[in-house]
């Protein structure tokens, strides 16, 4: 009989323990402080849904993080962006808990991961310990809260996932105690005509509708006159107790004359579908106004699995002479709700000219690959890069091209290729592709160089150019001076920066031996902890070399004393 591997047996056991109802009262809180949320599950973020909850850490780092249950650590990752320092713990009941943006790990885990970092001579590492190699108990210290990775402030990013499918689920489903007695808040209401023949209040385009609070606490929108297929959208948020953050709502339901047309919630979703958030919001409005209108209807290309009920894709078919009562019901996880009644009358208004369709010389057929030549550059869109067909605006320029505006979302990466044959080989070394922001400031785009062609892969429309970086990164000591005695210092810190293409790699040695310096790009600092005990000589020579993304290099050599 063939021996069954430990990993297969492990997955089999997970399958046995998989359950439809979420276990409540099984997991402990990850911290011994009141759970106050700065971010909720499913919250609308840039190109993705928030896959966990953000727990406030009293605006500071270093709060102890405990395992929510017995389990084994299955993944440890240290990265500059994303979750920064993060731990994954598999629990016997088929769930995995995730703890992100950590300052540091517990002493035993820190020792484990540091050995790997020194073996690989790399700050950024990702390891998958064997099952059972790093066991933890419920309530055991595993790490300390921090602000690493893409975090914008100290907090704990916390998730609970299925260990089999890796789908994240709302952590509040497991009985996490979070105070919330506040109803969701609606800021704006919109009605959309969804076909060329549809109109709303005399308009052929998205129309904002005013509303007022009623004596019973519900809201009533101004009368809407419309004809044809229409849809409802809103700008709103939820606010939990003891926090001023504008959080995402849990569920949205649209009913018409008592019949549910659409109902979706944020119980769970898969990482593979999260970018479809750009079909749930009005992306064009977001690109121009930096505010997300959340739709209650389903747009073309929307493959989200969050819908519990759906009739006619949530679109309301309005016929002349008939009246409709549309009701928008928005809830948070605690069940607090906002009710918006929207009276709609089917009536043909006296209209001006229909909205003019803006056309260009180039048209995108979403389901087919599209290739365009922009003289000194080419752009290639694979099939299904976009959700819908549209006229794309392409502008040529000297070493600069504009690919529409960031008002249309791209679901897949497309490529931009520049011809650099007019530049010498020496000049080419200092060139890179940059994306220009609204103030025409360049930011480095990963540039693949092959012969006389430079290519970047991106999902952001906008303006791209060839930029030149001739200046090496800067390096300076931060918390000590040359030949200073550092007997009572716990760490030493160096500040690095690059003015254009950005830092690519760095290396540090102490007395000729490689040392681990933790890079925090948000603060442009490299930090070495003296606990590593490599500074074993009275006079220590520190050498730091930093290279930017086009190969410009700078080296700092300095010394200090320590007993």
Band (pLDDT 50/70/90 cuts) for residue 352 is low
pLDDT tens across 122-139, in order? 999 999 999 999 999 999
Q: How many residues does the chain have?
A: 563
* % of the chain beyond a pLDDT of 70: 96
Identify the pLDDT of residue 358. 84
Mean pLDDT along residues 444-471:
97
Q: Whose CA is closest to 306, among 326, 280, 327, 288?
A: 280
DSSP one-letter string for 346-401: E------SPPPPP--SEEE-TTS-EEEE-SSEEEEE-TTSSSS-EEE-EE--SSEE
Q: Tens digit of pLDDT for each residue in 14-41? A: 444 444 589 998 999 999 999 999 999 9
Binning pLDDT at 50, 70 and 90, where does residue 349 land? confident
Residue 491 has which token pair? 């760490």
C-alpha span between 205 and 130 (Å, rounded): 57
Residues 6+ away with beta carbon under 8 Å from 2: none
Residue with tokens 């930090």: 527
Per DSSP, helices labelled H in 94-224 are: 107-120
- Give, in order, the Cα–Cα distances in Å from 55 to each of 40, 121, 218, 263: 9, 33, 31, 28
- The mean pLDDT of 255-283, rounded to a whole number, is 97
Please tell me the predicted confidence (pLDDT) of residue 534. Answer: 78
Name the 3-class secondary structure at 428.
helix
pLDDT of 404 reads 96
pTM (predicted TM-score)? 0.91
Q: What values do phi and psi take at 7, rounded to 5?
A: -65, -40
Place 356 in a pLDDT band, splitting at 50, 70 and 90: confident
pLDDT, residue 2, reads: 40
Give the SS3 label for residue 33: coil
For residues 473 and 496, is the Cβ–Cβ distance under 8 A?
yes
Q: What's the confidence (pLDDT) of residue 103?
A: 97
Q: At a CB cut-off of 8 Å and minimum separation 6, what does 286 contact?
A: 292, 293
- Give the pLDDT band (50/70/90) at residue 325: very high
Q: Is the pLDDT of residue 3 over 90?
A: no
Distant-in-sequence contacts of 331-335, Cβ < 8 A, 24+ apart: 331/184, 331/249, 331/250, 331/251, 331/253, 332/40, 332/180, 332/182, 332/183, 332/184, 332/238, 332/240, 332/247, 332/249, 332/250, 333/40, 333/170, 333/172, 333/178, 333/180, 333/250, 334/178, 334/180, 334/181
Is the Cβ–Cβ distance between 463 and 401 less than 8 Å?
yes
pLDDT at 263: 98
Average pLDDT value for residue range 179-188: 95
Q: Does residue 1 surpass a pLDDT of 60? A: no
List, for residues 200-220, the tens digit of each pLDDT value.
999 999 999 999 999 999 999
Look at residue 17 in the predicted model and tell me its pLDDT.
41
Give the whole-angstrom CA distance, residue 42 versus residue 56. 17
Give bridge partners of residue 547 from the DSSP assignment: 505, 553
CA atoms of 181 and 218, how far apart (whole Å): 16
> What is the bridge-based pairing of β-strands 185-193 and 224-237?
antiparallel
Mean pLDDT of 346-373: 87
Is residue 7 over pLDDT 50? no
Q: What is residue 500's DSSP assignment?
A: S
The per-residue pLDDT for range 476-518, each reduced to its tens digit, is 999 999 999 999 999 999 999 999 999 999 999 999 999 999 9
């Amino acid at each position: 009989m063939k021996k069954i591997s430990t990993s297969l047996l492990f997955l089999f056991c997970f399958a046995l323990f998989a359950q439809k109802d979420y276990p409540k009262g099984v997991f402990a809180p990850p911290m011994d402080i009141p759970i106050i949320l700065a971010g909720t599950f499913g919250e609308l973020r840039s190109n993705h849904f928030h896959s966990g909850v953000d727990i406030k850490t009293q605006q500071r780092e270093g709060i102890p993080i405990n395992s929510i249950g017995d389990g084994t650590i299955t993944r440890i990752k240290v990265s500059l962006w994303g979750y920064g320092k993060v731990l994954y713990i598999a629990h016997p009941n088929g769930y995995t808990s995730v703890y992100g943006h950590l300052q540091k790990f517990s002493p035993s885990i820190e020792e484990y991961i540091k050995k790997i970092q020194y073996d690989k001579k790399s700050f950024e590492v990702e390891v998958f310990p064997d099952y059972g190699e790093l066991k933890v108990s419920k309530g055991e210290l595993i790490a300390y809260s921090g602000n690493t990775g893409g975090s914008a402030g100290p907090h704990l990013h916390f998730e609970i996932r299925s260990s089999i499918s890796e789908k994240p689920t709302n952590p509040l489903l497991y009985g996490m105690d979070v105070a919330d007695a506040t109803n969701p808040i609606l800021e704006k209401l919109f009605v959309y005509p969804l076909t060329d023949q549809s109109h709303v209040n005399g308009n052929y385009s998205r129309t904002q509708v005013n509303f007022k609070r009623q004596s019973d606490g519900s809201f009533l929108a101004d009368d809407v006159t419309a004809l044809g297929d229409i849809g409802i959208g809103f700008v709103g948020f939820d606010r939990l107790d003891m926090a001023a953050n504008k959080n995402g709502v849990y569920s949205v339901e649209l009913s018409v004359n008592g019949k549910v047309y659409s109902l979706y919630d944020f119980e769970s979703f898969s990482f593979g579908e999260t970018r479809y958030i750009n079909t749930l919001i009005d992306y064009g409005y977001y690109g121009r106004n930096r505010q997300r209108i959340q739709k209650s209807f389903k747009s073309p290309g929307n493959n989200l699995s969050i819908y519990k009920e759906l009739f006619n894709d949530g679109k309301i078919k309005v016929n002349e002479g008939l009246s409709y009562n549309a009701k928008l019901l928005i809830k948070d996880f605690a069940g607090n709700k906002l009710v918006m009644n929207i009276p709609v009358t089917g009536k043909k208004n006296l209209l001006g000219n229909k909205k003019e369709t803006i056309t260009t010389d180039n048209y995108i057929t979403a389901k087919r690959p599209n290739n365009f030549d922009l003289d000194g550059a080419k752009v290639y869109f694979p099939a299904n890069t976009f959700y819908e067909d549209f006229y794309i605006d392409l502008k040529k320029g000297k070493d600069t091209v504009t690919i529409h505006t960031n008002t249309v979302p791209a679901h897949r990466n497309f490529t931009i290729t520049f011809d650099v044959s007019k530049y010498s080989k020496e000049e080419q070394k200092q060139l890179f592709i940059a994306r220009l922001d609204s103030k025409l400031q360049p930011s480095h785009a990963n540039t693949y160089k092959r012969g006389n062609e430079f290519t970047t892969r991106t999902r952001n429309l906008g303006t791209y150019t060839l930029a030149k970086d001739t200046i090496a990164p800067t390096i300076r000591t931060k918390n000590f001076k040359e030949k200073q005695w550092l007997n009572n210092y716990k760490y030493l810190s160096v500040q690095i920066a690059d003015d254009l293409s950005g830092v690519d790699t760095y290396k540090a040695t102490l007395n000729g031996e490689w040392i681990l310096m933790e890079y925090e790009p948000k603060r442009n600092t490299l930090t070495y902890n003296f606990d590593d005990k490599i500074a074993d000589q009275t006079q220590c020579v520190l050498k730091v070399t930093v290279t930017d993304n086009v190969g410009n290099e700078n080296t700092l050599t300095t010394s200090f004393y320590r007993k």
